[in-house]
Structure formats: C-alpha cells, structure tokens
Amino acid sequence: MERKTQKVKSLQKQKRKFRKELLFLLPSVIGVIIFYFIPFCDVLLRSFRPEFGGGFAGFDNYKAVLENKAFKIAVKNTLKFVVIYIPILLIFSLFLAVLLDYLREKQKIYKKIFLLPMAIPVASLVLIWKVFFGEFGLINRILSCFHVIGPDYFHTSFAFLVLGITYLWRNFGYDMLLWKTGIDAVDADLYEAAALDGAGFVKRFWYITLPQLKEMGFVIIIISVINSFKVFREAYLIGGDYPNQSIYMLQHLFNNWFVQLELGKLTAAAIMLACVIIFFVACIERILTPKEG
Amino acid sequence: MKKLINLCMMFLVLLIFAPIFITIVHSFMGMSELELNIGGILSGSQKPVAISLLPSYPTLKNYKELLLYSEAFYQMFWNSTFQSVLTILGQVIVAAPAAFVIAKYQFRGKRVLFWIYLIVMLMPFQILMVSEYLILKNLFIINTHWAIILPGIFGTYPVFILTKVFMNISDDVMDAARLDGANSLTLLCKIVLPIGKGGIIAVMILDFLECINNIETPLVFLKDKALLPLSLFFPQVSIYNAGAVFAASVVIMLPTVLVFIIGDEYLETGFQAFQIKG
C-alpha cells in the first residue's frame, strides 16, 4: 500500500517535467502550423500589401473593403442569416427536445428519423429543391389551392427564406439530439425533489433543466455557427457564383475575389472576419476549455 | 396532450421524408412520366408540377444509364471515395493521440493550444484560401487528390470532439494501468482507444458526411475535372437527363444514409461526450 502511494507521488512529480507524451501532439500541431497557422500569418501580411507591386499599403485594403458595395451586401446577408436562423434553430430544437422528453415513448425512432436530413448530401437536394421551390413547383401548387400566387423562390429575395428553411430542415434533428442528451444527463432526483415541492413542468424546466444545459448550450451554439457557414454549399449548388442578391454570402464574395485575383481586398476582408471569429471564441472559450493544472 | 405532440412529431417526420421519398420515386420513373410530372420546372413552361406517390411504370433504366454509361459520375464516385477514406483515416490517426494528450495530461500552453484549435475549427475555409492555395502549390500537390486530403486531415474538429470523449475516461483506470507499468503508447492503444471507440466512430461518421459534402476546397484546389468529387456533380438538368439525375441523387445519399442508420448508436455516444463538465 505504501509503495503504491509512493509510486503515485512519483507519477505526480513527473507531471511537471517534460513529457514524452507531448510527441503525440506533434503530428497534429505540425499539420495545424503548416496548413492553418502559416497561411494565417501570410494572409495577415498580404492584407497590408498593395493590390499590385510590393511595399506597405497600411490600411488601404481595409478601407477599400469597407467601401466595397458587394462586401456590404455580403456582410449584411451573412449577419442576417446568423442572427435570424441560429436563434430559431436553437429554440425550436430545444422545444422539440423537451417535447420528446415529455413524450417518453417512441423516442428512439423519432431521434433516428430526425437525424436523417443531416445525412442527405447537398448534391442530392439540388434537383428536388427545384421541384419544391420552383416557380411552378410543389409549394406554389399547394398555395394555389388557397388562391395564393407564390413567388419564384430562387430568383427573388425569397431565396433567403429557402436557404433558411434548408438550414433548419437539415439541422434541427441534430441540435435536438444534442439538447436531449443534455436533458437526459440531468439528475432525476432533482426533478423528484422539485416535484415534491410542488414545482410544475414549466418551473422544473426553467429552474432545473435549463441551468444544467448551459455547457451543452455552448457546444450547440458552436456547432450551429459552423453549420450556418455551410449553407453556402446549398446556396452555391442552387445559385452558382452569383445567386440572387439576398443569398449572396461572404463566401461567394471571397470566392469571386479569389477568381478575380483581388487578393488585397480578399485578405483584408478575411482578417476582419477572422477577428470577429476570434472575438466570438474569446467570449465562449472559458466555458469549453479543459482546465489547466 | 401526448396525442397532440405525437401529431406534431408525425408532421415533422412527413416534412423530413417528403423530399427524400419524392426523389426516390422519381428515380424510378421513365422519361414520359417525368415530363408529365415535372416537365414544367425543367423546360420553363408554365405547367405546374404534379407529384404522384408511386411511379405508374417503374423502371430501372435511370440507374442503368447512370451506372453504366455515365463515366463522369463513375469517376466522381471513386474520387469521393478515395478522398473521404484517406481523409477520415488520416484524421483519426492524427487526432486521437493529440486528443489523448490534451484530455489526459497537463502541460504548459494547453489552454492556448486549445484556443487556437477552437479558432481553426470555426474559421470558414475562405479566410485562408489564398495562402493555403500557395502552400499547396509549393508542395506540388495543388490540383491533386492530396490538395483535398492533407488540409482535411489536419482539421481540428475531430481533436475537439475526441478531447471531450477522452476526458470522460476515468483517471483511475489509467492510473491503475500506469502502476502496472504501462507506458503512454500502451495506455493509448489498450485503454483509451477501446474505451473511446464509440466516440471515435461518431467522429468518423461526421467526418464522412463532411467529406461527401465538401465543395469549398475542390472548387478552389482542383482544376482538373477528372479529380472532382461527387459533391460537385450537378449537371444542367433537362428532361432528357432528369431521371438519371434523380437516380444520381439517390446513389449519392445512399452511403451516408446507411452509415447514419447503422452508426446511430455510436453517434449518440459521441454526443454524450459533449456533456462532460470541463
């Protein structure tokens, strides 16, 4: 027994020295440096270089970007998308998770089915979305039964709505499952105690479930943000390089600047976007980082 | 109340299945029936769609056409397979040891490292695309499969998830193994990987989906049409190939849907890993 504790102590001592185990990190760290860190520094440097020739351009590129009309539109659309659809997605999927929890029966089959849209590749959706949302498509056919004449969803500002619906359709099951996992992990005793104290369903949800979902909530927010960037795929496959203006996202703009070799503007805009993301990470990282010893 | 909830759920199930079902049904239709149903959408005439729930004259012609005669599709299918398999394997080989160290060891700079990984994970591809293009060019792998595979391997999303998965493994088990003289490599192979198997499979499933859907990198890093993956298969649809495109849609979704249905349990284990208190 004594020997064991001694061994444990020596193990703890070792922790402060250099550890061979860090070699396990090496491949990943080297890869991240080559494919992400060096490119980032390069982008940063480029953003201060003039569009043509060498030298130092100061903040000229940044100014040019901020005055650029396409940039304003793309920022507006991207921001609008994030601000409108992420909250809808989070609240809707949480609501569903609570309903599913309340339902108890048939949970498994619903979970399975709700996850399915995530598994449908973007390329498979392109044609069927035309059948649904085309000017003479299924949705408008149904609307016409109520004597409503539907718009052409792809070539008007309704495209933004189609993109939002696609995002919700694809992600609500995934987010719901994550919420449900969080709800399942809440200690059942707490509910019983609260129920004994006469707390109703709503109160129990508000005072017990919700606070315990905090950490899961942040993970879900991160995943939802990442997935919201991915709607570009649907937008691109449906609309190409220049879709309807309402779904012209930052990614379209970046791609087009890349093709036109407007690297000064591209890198300056990239750095600004990166700053926004770094700020976002700084806000939430404390909750997610494993503790340092 | 329960009945009402069930009803709502059924409605959602319907919303999920409708597009999938209609795609499958149309993939079994002959040209004349497709023309009758969705001709208006494809030709731009003002004829509204008519959806039938079953094909009146079911045929496998579309699939035959697609698989036997469309060389481009066949090529893209193999490109996708090759790129996905190598990316996924590489990712797990790189990410699992890294996640193990981050989850189970204390070292200086861990917080900064995790911070950087989190940022890399959240950055849209377009931010780095210019410089990444140049790096891949300097490595002489631009316009090859490796231009897609290598940056994919070092994505940090798997590290992020696996760290969470491995943090759930109890320290007692590991300490016990250490006392028995196990070194870190044995710890990783004999304890962490087997216990974290569910999480690792979950990561692979999510990766697979990501690879199948990846259009950003092939769009920029591949110029050669013969290298493009399935995600960029979207030909000009006309009434003459609509059936084949529907069949293609079904073939493209088949692998991911199967993987999701089979790997369902593992995905849930993976999700549970998010729950751990840091």
Which pLDDT band holds residue A285 (cuts at 50, 70, 90)? low
B6 and B97 belong to one structural domain: no
What residues of chain B, 165 to 224, have a C-beta less than 8 Å from chain A?
167, 175, 178-179, 184, 188, 209, 212-213, 215-216, 219-220
Chains A & B: contacts with CB separation below 8 Å: 300
pLDDT in tens, A198-248: 877 788 888 888 888 887 888 888 889 989 998 998 888 888 888 889 999
Q: Is B38 on the interface with A (CB under 8 A)?
A: yes
B95 and B227 belong to one structural domain: yes
Q: List b or e across A15-35, with b for residues whose CB sees 16 or more CB atoms inside 10 angstroms.
A: eeeebebeebbebbbebbebb
In chain B, the number of structural domains is: 2
Which pLDDT band holds residue A282 (cuts at 50, 70, 90)? confident
Report yes or no: A43 and A257 within 8 Å, Cβ to Cβ. no
In chain B, % of residues over pLDDT 70: 97
What's the rounded Cα separation, in Å, for the pair A194 and A185?
17
Which pLDDT band holds residue A50 (cuts at 50, 70, 90)? confident
Looking at the complex, report in whole angstroms how far the Cα of residue A103 sits from the nearest Cα belonging to chain B: 6
Report yes or no: A232 and A249 within 8 Å, Cβ to Cβ. yes
- Which among B50, B87, B29, B37 has a CA at the least distance from the CA of A35? B87
Nearest chain B Cα to A223, which residue? B122
- Selecting from A39, A115, A119 the residue whose C-beta is nearest the C-beta of B135 gives A39
Q: Is A285 on the interface with B (CB under 8 A)?
A: yes
Q: Based on the number of CB atoms within 10 Å of its own CB, is A158 exposed (0-12), middle (13-18) or buried (19 or more)?
A: middle
Which pLDDT band holds residue A8 (cuts at 50, 70, 90)? low
B124: its two tokens? 């849209």
| Angstrom distances, CA of residue B16 to CA of A170, B21, B216 | 9, 9, 26
Which range (A14-18, A105-109, B80-84, B221-225) has the least confidence?
A14-18
Collect all residues of chain A within an 8 Å Cβ-Cβ radius of residue B39. Answer: none
Say if residue A1's pLDDT is above 60: no
Looking at the complex, report in whole angstroms how far the Cα of residue B200 sits from the nearest Cα belonging to chain A: 16
- Contact between chains at B8 and A99 (C-beta distance less than 8 A): yes
For residue A144, what are the contacts with CB-CB under 8 A and spacing of at least 6? A150, B48
B82 and B55 belong to one structural domain: no
Give the CB-side neighbour count of residue A29, counting CA atoms within 13 A: 15
Looking at the complex, report in whole angstroms how far the Cα of residue A21 sits from the nearest Cα belonging to chain B: 7
Going from N- to C-terminal start, the domains of chain A cover 34-64, 87-183+213-260
Report yes or no: B95 and B199 within 8 Å, Cβ to Cβ. no
Say if residue A293's pLDDT is above 50: no
Question: Which one has a higher pLDDT value, A149 or A225?
Answer: A225
Whether B132 is in a domain gets the answer yes
B22 and B139 belong to one structural domain: no
- Selecting from B102, B119, B130 the residue whose C-beta is nearest the C-beta of A277 gives B119
> Residue A185 has what pLDDT?
84
B29 and B148 belong to one structural domain: no
What residues of chain A, 68 to 87, have a C-beta less than 8 Å from chain B?
none
Which pLDDT band holds residue A292 (cuts at 50, 70, 90)? very low
Nearest chain B Cα to A171, which residue? B16
What residues of chain A, 84 to 143, have a C-beta less than 8 Å from chain B?
96, 99-100, 102-103, 105-106, 110-132, 134, 136-138, 140-141
Report yes or no: A235 and A243 within 8 Å, Cβ to Cβ. yes
Whether B73 is in a domain gets the answer no
Whether B64 is in a domain gets the answer no
Q: For chain B, 278 residues long, give each residue's pLDDT as a single digit of tens.
A: 888 888 989 999 999 999 999 899 989 988 888 877 777 777 766 777 777 778 888 888 889 888 877 888 889 999 999 999 999 999 999 999 999 999 888 888 888 898 899 899 989 899 999 999 999 999 999 999 999 999 999 999 999 889 988 888 888 888 888 888 888 888 888 888 988 888 899 899 989 998 988 988 998 999 888 899 988 887 777 777 888 889 999 999 999 999 988 888 888 877 777 765 43
Looking at the complex, report in whole angstroms how far the Cα of residue A42 sits from the nearest Cα belonging to chain B: 6
- Contact between chains at A127 and B231 (C-beta distance less than 8 A): no
What's the rounded Cα separation, in Å, for the pair A35 and B155?
9
Say if residue A72's pLDDT is above 90: yes
> Residue A249 has what pLDDT?
93
B157 and B212 belong to one structural domain: yes
What's the rounded Cα separation, in Å, for the pair B79 and B82?
5
What's the rounded Cα separation, in Å, for the pair B103 and A200?
39
Say if residue A74's pLDDT is above 80: yes
Highest mean pLDDT among A148-157, A166-175, A209-218, A229-238: A166-175
B35 and B105 belong to one structural domain: no
Q: Is residue A108 classed as helix, strand or coil in its secondary structure? A: helix
Complex prediction ipTM: 0.87
What's the rounded Cα separation, in Å, for the pair B105 and A293?
9
Helices of type H across chain B: 2-27, 31-43, 61-64, 71-104, 110-122, 129-138, 145-153, 157-167, 171-179, 184-186, 193-195, 197-213, 216-221, 242-262, 264-272
| CA torsion through residues A261, A68, A280, A231, sign | negative
Which range (A23-37, A42-56, B80-94, B208-222) has the least confidence?
A42-56
Whether B227 is in a domain gets the answer yes
B130 and B37 belong to one structural domain: no
Which pLDDT band holds residue A287 (cuts at 50, 70, 90)? low
Q: Is residue A199 classed as helix, strand or coil in its secondary structure? A: coil
- Which among B237, B260, B5, B274 has a CA at the least distance from the CA of A220? B274
B122 and B152 belong to one structural domain: yes
> Residue A168 has what pLDDT?
95
B84 and B121 belong to one structural domain: yes
> Residue A65 has what pLDDT?
92
What residues of chain B, 53 to 82, have a C-beta less than 8 Å from chain A?
none
What's the rounded Cα separation, in Å, for the pair A13 and A33?
31
| Angstrom distances, CA of residue A10 to CA of A16, B126, B173, B178 | 11, 48, 18, 12
Question: Which one has a higher pLDDT value, B231 or A20?
Answer: B231
Q: Based on the number of CB atoms within 10 Å of its own CB, is A197 exposed (0-12), middle (13-18) or buried (19 or more)?
A: exposed
Whether B70 is in a domain gets the answer no
- Contact between chains at A24 and B98 (C-beta distance less than 8 A): yes
> Residue A75 has what pLDDT?
94
Q: Rounded to 5 degrees, what are φ and ψ at A184?
A: -60, -30
Domain end (from B14, B31, B59)? B59
- Contact between chains at B107 and A22 (C-beta distance less than 8 A): yes
* Mean pLDDT, chain A, whole residue set: 85
**Homologous superfamily assigned to A87-183+213-260:** MetI-like (1.10.3720.10)
Report yes or no: A248 and A242 within 8 Å, Cβ to Cβ. yes
B147 and B259 belong to one structural domain: yes
- Which among A108, A101, A112 has a CA at the least distance from the CA of B17? A112
Structural domain for B40, as ranges: 2-59
Report yes or no: A218 and A104 within 8 Å, Cβ to Cβ. no
What's the rounded Cα separation, in Å, for the pair A96 and B35?
39
Could you tell me how many helices (H) and strands (E) chain A has, helices first? 16, 0
Nearest chain A Cα to B256, which residue? A119
B119 and B160 belong to one structural domain: yes
Collect all residues of chain B within an 8 Å Cβ-Cβ radius of residue A182. Answer: 274-275
